[in-house]
Chain A
Amino acid sequence: MSDARQPLQDLFADLLDGESPRVRRVHVVLSEKAPRRGALLITDAEGRQWCWPVDTLRALADQAGKEGLILHQAGASPERLVISNPDMAGRLRALFPHLGKRQPVRHMWRLLGWGIGAVGAVFLIIMVLIPLLANQLAALLPPDAEKALGDATLEQITIGLDRSGVNPIRSCTQEKGLAALARMQARLVEGMDLPYPVQVHVLDHSMVNAFALPGGHVVFFRGLINEAETPEEVAAVFAHELGHVAHRDPARIALRTAGSVGVLGLLFGDFAGGTVVLFLTERLVQASYTREAEALADAFAHDILIRSRVSPAALATMFERLRARYGDAEGIVAHFANHPALVERIWAARSAARNAGVETEPILDAAAWADLKGICAPLAGLSNILERFKPGAEDGG
Chain B
Amino acid sequence: MSASEIRTEYTGGKWNLFRLALKTSLLTLLTLGFYRFWMKTRLRRWFWSAIRPGGMPLEYTGDAIEKLLGFLMAVVVLAFYIGVVNLILVFLSFTFLHDNLAAYAASFIGVIPLLFFARYRARRYILARTRWRGIRFGLEPAAWAYSLYAMGQWLLTFLTLGYLYPRQVFNLEKFRTDRTFYGSARLHQGGSWRMLRGAGFWHMYAAAWSVAVLVALVHLEYLPERGLLWLFPAGMWFLFGFLWFRVHALRSMANHKSAGEVALIAAPRMPRVLGIYLLGYTLAYLLLFLFALAVVLAGLFGAVWLFEVNPHDLVTWQQRVPTWVQMSAYIFLYFSIFILWSVLHQVFVVLPLHRHYAQTLTIRNPLALSSIRQRARDHAEEAGGFAEALDLGAAI
Contact = CB atoms under 8 A, between A and B. Distances in A.
Interface of A: 14, 16-23, 60-66, 70, 76, 78-80, 82, 84, 105-107, 110-111, 114-115, 117-118, 121-122, 125-126, 129-130, 133-134, 137, 140-142, 144-149, 152, 164-166, 255-256, 258-260, 262-263, 266-272, 274, 332
A271 B68 contact: no
Given A70-B59, A125-B84, A263-B79, 4 more contacts: A18-B374, A62-B42, A64-B50, A64-B57
Interface stretch (B10-18, B198-206, B235-243): B10-18
Given A16-B134, A20-B370, A125-B84, A65 B69 contact: no
A141 B12 contact: no
A116 to B, nearest CB: 10
A64 B132 contact: no
B91 A129 contact: no
Contacts of A260: 83
B120 interface: no
A64 B11 contact: yes
B95 interface: yes
B374 A78 contact: yes
B87 interface: yes
B87 A130 contact: yes
B79 A125 contact: yes
A266 B134 contact: no
Contacts of A267: 75
Contacts, number: 188
Contacts of A118: 72-73, 75-76
A145 B98 contact: yes
B16 A66 contact: yes
Interface string B25-65: 00010001100100000110111011010011101000001
A301 B110 CA distance: 44
Nearest to A150: B94
A19 B83 contact: no
B330 interface: yes
6 contacts: A18-B135, A21-B369, A61-B42, A62-B49, A263-B83, A271-B36
Contact of B334 (A65, A82, A165, A266): A165
Interface string B66-78: 1011001101101
B80 interface: yes
A66 B13 CA distance: 9
Interface string B189-214: 00000000000000000000000000
Interface string B88-100: 1011001110111
A62 B323 contact: no
B369 to A, nearest CB: 5
B79 A266 contact: yes
A254 B170 CA distance: 45
A64 B12 contact: yes
A249 B66 CA distance: 42
A144 B394 CA distance: 41
A148 B330 CA distance: 33
B131 interface: yes
A122 B99 contact: no
A52 to B, nearest CB: 15
A110 B59 CA distance: 26
A64 B17 contact: yes
A118 B74 CA distance: 9
Interface of B: 11-13, 16-17, 20, 28, 32-33, 36, 42-43, 45-47, 49-50, 52, 55-57, 59, 65-66, 68-69, 72-73, 75-76, 78-80, 82-84, 86-88, 90-91, 94-96, 98-100, 131-136, 183, 323-324, 326-327, 330, 334, 369-370, 372-374, 377, 388-389, 391, 394
A63 B88 contact: no
B208 to A, nearest CB: 27
Contact of A114 (B16, B52, B72): B72
Contact of A23 (B43, B133, B334, B374): B133
B68 A130 contact: no
Nearest to A123: B79
A63 B326 contact: no
A340 B159 CA distance: 60
Given A114-B69, A130-B87, A148 B94 contact: yes
A79 B131 CA distance: 11
A114 B383 CA distance: 14
B384 to A, nearest CB: 13
A84 to B, nearest CB: 8
A125 B98 CA distance: 26
A60 B133 contact: no
A121 B83 contact: no
Contacts of B43: 62
Given A148-B98, A266-B79, A255 B132 contact: no
Contacts of B86: 258-259, 262
A20 B334 contact: no
A269 B56 CA distance: 35
B328 to A, nearest CB: 11
Interface centre among B16, B50, B72 (most CB of A within 10 A): B72
Given A152-B100, A259-B87, A63 B95 contact: no
Contact of A125 (B56, B80, B369): B80
Contacts of A149: 94, 100
A118 to B, nearest CB: 4
Contacts of A126: 79, 83
A65 B83 contact: no
Contacts of A20: 135, 183, 370, 372-374
A393 to B, nearest CB: 33
Contacts of B16: 64, 66
Given A21-B370, A107-B65, A134-B87, A63 B389 contact: no
B363 to A, nearest CB: 11
A21 to B, nearest CB: 4
A62 B183 contact: no
B69 A110 contact: yes
Nearest to B324: A332
Contacts of A62: 20, 42-43, 45-46, 49
A122 B370 contact: no
Contacts of B76: 117-118, 121-122
Contacts of B11: 64-65
A82 B56 contact: yes
